[in-house]
Structure 1
Amino acid sequence: MQPPATEQLTLREFRAEDAKDLLTVFTDDYARRFYPEMTTEAAATEWIDRNLKRYAEHGFGLWAVIEKSTGRLIGDCGPTWQDIGGPTILEIGYHIAPDRRGRGFALEAARACLATAFASTSEPEIGSIVAPENASSMSVARRLHRERRSYVNSRGLDRFLFFTRR
């Protein structure tokens, strides 16, 4: 179910040797506000291992986002099953390295993943979960999806679910 390459990006399955590069996606204070656990290579390895299991179990997960012009791993993007306060939804998640944000890479990758997820599954809606204080992710989700609703997650935190119906 891996999405095709886009104009600027290639999306591929993670490899064990991607851990150091993946860690650079979460090196700034902004990213660590939302992913405080991503501070060690061991945490990045665990992140990759979870996605390797997802590929085996579901045929998809977060994929490594590679910038074509540099060949560099600049983030991740892809569908994963997420709990939204009871039911689960196929969610398109995305994370881009600090020095590559604001260039449209997250939206480009997320659009490719959304199209691939709809083409490869029978899910009636696919979404993106965003913390209300995550302005960068909110900006991408607003352009990616058509609708939005609020919910409280299993940890009692307010979240927005931006979503697109088939």
Structure 2
Amino acid sequence: MNRHRQPPSPTQRLAFRQMTEDDLDDMAALLGDPDVMRHYPRPKTRDEALAWIDWNQRLYRQEGYGLWLVALRSTGEFIGDCGLTPQEIDGATELEVGYHVRADLQGNGYASEAAAACRDHARDVLRAKRLVAIIRPDNTPSQRVAEKIGLPFERDAISGSGLPVRIHATDL
């Protein structure tokens, strides 16, 4: 699967690339923002943001995908991250689409645009058969994004960290 290391193709407004340590300032600000991380147990520290980058670099090497850095094509401005990660849910490993958009840029459709590009990448490049989004029950904006890109609500579950989640899923 390593031949698939390329990120998704650019969209009308967004470009994707692999994260590097040079992105630590942007990723630490994103993952440390209480608004962005309000559906997580807590915002991440700078060290945890570096671990997030390291985790994604490991995924790129091992799986050929991960969460990619998302930027505006027109200016190169950092938007957030979006991509694909293997997640264990109910004892099965599923391919998840995930996304984080800077709090000041939410509501512009960037998450839906990026997530749709990652869905297409999962289907067309990785040849994935199924895609899920694992979302906290109170995170209605992310649930709307999942539904907008064709991942309807499937079932309630408990995450690996013991939190209730909603599984949105579709066959690709």
Q: What TM-score, normalized to structure 1?
A: 0.92
Q: What residue number does 1:135 align with? A: 140
Q: Give, as a single letter, the amino acid of the residue that structure 2 aligns with 1:94.
A: Y
Q: CA deviation at 1:37?
A: 5.1
Within 2, Cα distance between the matches of 1:35 and 1:151? 16
Q: What residue number does 1:43 align with? A: 48
- SS for the counterpart of 1:74 is strand
Q: What residue number does 1:29 align with? A: 34
Q: Give, as a single letter, the amino acid of the residue that structure 2 aligns with 1:60.
A: Y
Q: What residue number does 1:156 align with? A: 162
| Alpha-carbon spacing, 1:163–1:118, altered in 2? closer, same or farther (3 Å) | same
| Aligned 8 A contact 2:146 2:152 in 1 | no
| Alpha-carbon spacing, 1:105–1:82, altered in 2? closer, same or farther (3 Å) | same
Q: Give, as a single letter, the amino acid of the residue that structure 2 aligns with 1:66.
A: A
Q: What residue number does 2:59 align with? A: 54
Within 1, Cα distance between the matches of 2:31 and 2:58? 22
Q: Give, as a single letter, the amino acid of the residue that structure 2 aligns with 1:34.
A: H
Equivalences, count: 166
Within 2, Cα distance between the matches of 1:114 and 1:107? 10
Find 1:111's aligned residue among 109, 116, 131.
116
Q: CA deviation at 1:154?
A: 2.9
Q: CA deviation at 1:157?
A: 2.0
- SS for the counterpart of 1:7 is coil
- SS for the counterpart of 1:11 is strand
Matched, 1:99 2:104: yes
Write 1 or 2 for the structure with the bigger share of helix: 1
| Aligned 8 A contact 1:37 1:43 in 2 | no
| Aligned 8 A contact 1:9 1:67 in 2 | yes
Within 2, Cα distance between the matches of 1:85 and 1:119? 26
Q: CA deviation at 1:111?
A: 0.4
CA-to-aligned-CA distance 1:14-72 (integer Å, 9 cap, x gap): 01110111122234433232345544322211100000000000000000001122311
Q: Which moved more, 1:57-66 or 1:117-126?
A: 117-126
Q: Give, as a single letter, the amino acid of the residue that structure 2 aligns with 1:155.
A: S
Structure 1 segments of 4+ aligned residues over 3 angstroms from their partners: 35-39
Question: What is the percentage of aligned positions where both structures have the same residue?
Answer: 36
Q: Give, as a single letter, the amino acid of the residue that structure 2 aligns with 1:31.
A: V
Q: Give, as a single letter, the amino acid of the residue that structure 1 aligns with 2:159.
A: N
